Amino acid sequence: MKWPFLQAITGASRAQLHGGLRLPRDKPGLPLAGDIRTLALPPRLILPLLDYRRDALPPLVQVGQEVEVGQHLAAGVIATASGRILSIEPRPVIHPSGKLAPCVILEPDEHQDNDAACYEALPAITADRLDQCGVTGLGGAAFATADKLTAVARSGSPLQTLLINAVECEPQIACDEALMMCDASAIIKAIDVLKRTTQCRRCVLAVENDKTAAISAIHQALQAHPVELELMLLEPVYPAGAERSLIRRITGRSLAPDQRPASLGILSINVATALAAYRASQGFPLHSRIVTVSGEGLPEPVNVRVRFGTPVEDVLRQCHYSASAGSHRVRANGPLSGFDLHSLQAPITASTNNLGIHRIEPAPTSLPCIRCGACEDVCPEQLLPQQLYWYAQADDLSGSRRFGLDSCITCGCCDLVCPSAIPLTQAFRHARDAQREQARQERMAALSQQRHQAREQRLQERAAAREERRRLAKAQSSSGSDPIADALARARQRRKPRLSQAGRTSAPAADESNRDSPPASATEASVKRPDDGRP
């Protein structure tokens, strides 16, 4: 059956994807029964106080405070369960560096209502509601969705393209496909509300053409709830789901490394993020996501819904991971674009889409680069990875930026094809972390310089005010009056009341004592005879 409101485009695009890899389909744990299991709450939730740039956020709560689900713990960070705050302390998080980050340790209440709405329903999706419900990108970058909607509104021009990204071409990651298989009807309703909210001229739902069950579910949902959109069916070439690559492939327009899609009239969001935005308009905060868990030591791979803040160790335990500690390594966010975890106590966040358990094997020995150019052929951003690697190894950040460090999406394609087994992506991640740290130091230095300049200005203003007071005093003193005489006059004026009061109290007593005695002569008053005993 065909629907006139649905324009299906199979494998067509305005610009072909440069590079990339055609990998065998490996989508474990798909919910064939149409149901996704929700894991139980752990005894402790660990909620990192970080934004999408990995910068620390000041907490808005205190230790011992009781919080409700959806309450803001920091700007953009909400409590994913009701409970009591036990501590605010550094804890390991899911990051390639393995560094600690400030986290809120929350003890959940025993009884939680997972489906309770915290706010009243709205007819449209607003940026304030998205921020209120803590909706962030669920596609990997965890960018605040409210900021994307606000950027579109500030652009001043109508939205050209609403792009719903359901392209999930990395092996062993199937959370978006599982979501479309189970909640296709809600996804279509979410797209409809987003279309009406943004008033977009074009709406595209991009998905790989090998997701047959998910595509069938989308078709059935469209039959029940017609929405005018383009269903773009793409060849599963990794990493076709990267935002800049997908925008270039769908619209034929390219984004600079520091350019946002809103500047081109494009709003690009992940399919799970679109559903989370719709649920936020209905009053539900974003407190969980679907995670694909697969690999060694599991009875079977699964896609499960996990509450944000749940430690990885607890997720593996509830998925019946039975291998002994230290026998496997756990990799987060995919076998290619992901990284090995340093601690299983790191919590699940909005950017965690996959946990892969792999057997520990010795790392291959890296050999010198042979200049074969294979990494350049597969790079989706058309970079020169071998040149970029040399600058990254030398800690030359200016050279790394010149060769496109900001454009690298750390997809791992270059690692997979390198015959010398050089860890290119790892070097790029370290260089990017160093670049972020340098940028942070520069921001702090600029802030310190601003504070120093403001202090110097205050001191100059105070000195100028003192000098003005001295000038005015000098001008008054030079107007013809004698400053010494003026000072003496002021002193006499201050003593005059005391002298007059003393004179009034002593004069009557003197008059009374001298009333009956004759006045003494001047000689008697001035000469005193010696007391020699003579009469």
pLDDT (0 to 100) of residue 46:
98
Look at residue 531 and tell me whether its pLDDT is greater than 80: no
Q: Report residue 486's pLDDT band, with 50, 70 and 90 as the boundaries.
A: confident
Whole-angstrom Cα distance, residue 59 to residue 448?
A: 23
498, two tokens:
């005391």
* Residues contacting 183, CB < 8 A, separation 6+: 275
Look at residue 14 and tell me whether its pLDDT is greater than 70: no
Q: Report residue 471's pLDDT band, with 50, 70 and 90 as the boundaries.
A: confident
Percentage with pLDDT > 90 across the chain: 69
The more confidently predicted of residues 271 and 503 is 271
Nearest by Cα to 244 from 397, 404, 384, 437:
404
Give the CA diameter of the chain: 155
Determine how many CB atoms are found less than 10 A away from the CB of residue 530.
6
Whole-angstrom Cα distance, residue 241 to residue 268?
A: 11
Nearest by Cα to 328 from 308, 355, 310:
355
pLDDT (0 to 100) of residue 481:
65
Nearest by Cα to 216 from 252, 263, 180, 168:
180
pLDDT (0 to 100) of residue 447:
92
Q: Report residue 527's pLDDT band, with 50, 70 and 90 as the boundaries.
A: very low
Look at residue 340 and tell me whether its pLDDT is greater than 90: yes
Secondary structure of residue 241 in the 3-state scheme: coil
pLDDT (0 to 100) of residue 515:
47
Of 321-325, 326-330, 448-452, the range with the lowest mean pLDDT is 321-325
Secondary structure of residue 144 in the 3-state scheme: strand
Of 422-426, 443-447, 471-475, 528-532, the range with the lowest mean pLDDT is 528-532
Q: Note the pTM of the prediction, 2 decimals.
A: 0.82
pLDDT (0 to 100) of residue 15:
54
Q: Report residue 335's pLDDT band, with 50, 70 and 90 as the boundaries.
A: very high
**Which whole number is the average pLDDT over 371-385?**
94
**Which whole number is the average pLDDT over 353-379?**
92
Look at residue 526 and tell me whether its pLDDT is greater than 70: no
Of 295-299, 360-364, 494-498, the range with the lowest mean pLDDT is 494-498
1, two tokens:
């059956």
Nearest by Cα to 432 from 412, 404, 451:
404
Nearest by Cα to 336 from 407, 242, 254, 268:
242
pLDDT (0 to 100) of residue 28:
95
Look at residue 480 and tell me whether its pLDDT is greater than 70: no
Look at residue 113 and tell me whether its pLDDT is greater than 80: no
The more confidently predicted of residues 370 and 1 is 370
Domains and CATH numbers, the chain: 6-39+116-286 (3.40.50.11540), 368-465 (no CATH)
